[in-house]
Structure 1
Amino acid sequence: MTRFDFRIAATDGAARTGSITMQRGVIRTPAFMPVGTAATVKGLRASEVRAAGADIILGNTYHLMLRPSAERIARLGGLHAFMGWDRPILTDSGGYQVMSLSALTKRSEEGVAFASHLDGSRHMMSPERSMEIQRLLGSDIVMAFDELVALPAPRETVEAAMQRSMRWAARSRAGFDSDAGHAGRAALFGIQQGGLDERLRAESAAALTGIGFDGYAIGGLAVGEGQVAMFGVLDYATAQLPANAPRYLMGVGKPDDIVGAVLRGVDMFDCVLPTRSGRNGQAFTHDGPLNIRNARHGEDLAVLDAECPCPVCAGGVSRAYLHHLVKSGEMLGAMLMTEHNIGFYQHLMAGLRAAIAETRLAAFAAGFLARYSARSG
């Protein structure tokens, strides 16, 4: 069976649409991956995530290694069986969480020693350990271990982290390849670093290409630099990466971020925003983000978005009812808001794929962004 096959079906400017074929299924690109941090896309059953149109989800190496542990998940049959998701799973390397959530971190060439944010227990995350954890989880797309730098940061700090990330990328490649069974059915992605510096990004891309990966992520963005700066990097970063491999923008983002990144040639995305916002009473709509807690929704019988095909909107669930549920702290409110947001994101991705295939992406993007900026509130 096919291990990993990326095909571009059509292009429109820098944008591409196509597919990634793996043993557990086909991933249509551009793709948005709902985040299943702790073996669950919060508030939804796996069947609901799939029904929304998701072809792949993301699992979190750091959180799963701490609870319930990668070793336990392996004993229970792997992450797919554990959470009841039979399609592809991408696992991140754990690097971002190690450096953002953990206490008492100490970075070295070996890796990052850290204290768990749960109980203070001490751990070491290295490229080799990250590959081992992702192998135990049984992920389909494995991410290389890298060092993240929050922006803004001095250029010398960004350069040192990028160069170390490239050394760790080589070690990740060797660690991944050391288990022929997993490597024979999974894929490994490298992560480009370099902050907002075009030369450092080019150096990183060259190093990753020299090592060789199935796909390439654009890392170190959406960490405080703002949309204008992020798009400025994407204007050149995608072209620095191999055209015949998928490009994955990590941790992005808002719907308008995604549209802008697709225009610049990005194929894959993930972000906690649709689930986190849903739990906090924010819905994404064609007319901008909507805060269901606002009093004006208290007697509004309209659905969140009349053009959204998700079960919440198609089923006629009113803003008034959602307002009541969320204001009352009822768990159903968070679940329905999340189901809508995941459905809205997948509807957006389907629209982008169709627009690229029909060479009308510029018009689709302009129309979407003009409405979305209205911010219904």
Structure 2
Amino acid sequence: MDLEYTPTDDAFRAEVRAWLEANLPQAVREKVLNHKRLSRDDIASWHKLLGQRGWSAPAWPAEYGGPGWNETQRHIWDEECGRIGAPMVLPFGVSMVAPVLMKYGNEAQKRRYLPRILSGEDWWCQGYSEPGSGSDLASLRTRAVLTKGSDGDHYVVNGQKTWTTLGQHADMIFCLVRTDPAAKKQEGISFLLIDMKTPGITVRPIIMLDEDHEVNEVFFEDVKVPVENLVGEENRGWTYAKYLLGHERTGIARVGVSKRELAFLKRVALEQKKHGKPLLHDPVFAARVAAVEIELMGLEVTAERVIASSGHGRGPGPEASMLKIKGTEIQQALTELMVDAVGPLGAPFDPAFLEGERAHAAGGDDDAAPLAAYYFNYRKTSIYGGSNEIQKNIIAQMILGI
């Protein structure tokens, strides 16, 4: 893999940067850069704007409506979006269910769902985790029973999913369901696409420590799902689930965002004083920042290698677990350093400021006010997408042969 940028790459970066500068709404950009909360409309309208430009799915091949970018262009895109403060395009449709449909879905499913994912017309959420079935996903208990009726064959789904991110906004959910309870854990699971407006679905909010409604419980009571919404073969859903999780874990690295947050951290640490001098000039604190920066540089090169190998026809393998572990550790380390840098200034909790209802923080420091909530929220990153402990097991088994 060539790590040097060519004149063509530089021209591509200039094109991307100019377009982002001209089209990213300033109000949305300021929310992202200042760690405020995004509304549903902020996220959806940005996705739709990118869809109109053909850039909402950077990793998609041209045959499915993607830009057909190579791995270097995708890295440049990630870096520029992170630098400017563009909202992340939600991964559930673009980066998770779409690759599964491209590889395992039938032509009718591709024609129906992929254009709607690309344009942002459909908002997707993920139905994997259950109470008692988090990292041990194969122990899930939500049942789907195939039933024949006068209105066509369909599955009847009963059960519960939890930690469903932004499920309160979703049009569709992709679900792992148990279709053969007598089979071994991984062998009796199927992959269903379910319309969230189907009768029998109840979404119940889970309010987090920072009082944000980000995740939900989703209940299924005699929910009828057309058999056409089965992806691939019945009882082979575990294969599709693992393929999806490889794509999710690769995206969790979020190198571009971490580079932006590192720059924010350095700025804040220059403004804060210790013994009359900038905190960033303190040898101990500076060493902690440097250690994270070195880790981030290593992660960036590793991510480029994994993306390059995926571009040569390989799906993300166990290498994606390395990206997930290190990417989330760096994200958490950055939030820890931010909170340490601002100290007591980050303690006041100001929901009105986080929601954009007030222009300035009640405590008087707009940079510091969101950081405690930001820190607590990012405790999740080492858990979702498969906990980091599980990722270490995957690496031990598939790379080291232990």
TM-score, normalisation: structure 2: 0.25
Which one has a larger percent strand, Structure 1 or Structure 2? 1
Larger RCO, structure (CA 8 Å, separation 6 or more): 1
Larger radius of gyration: 2
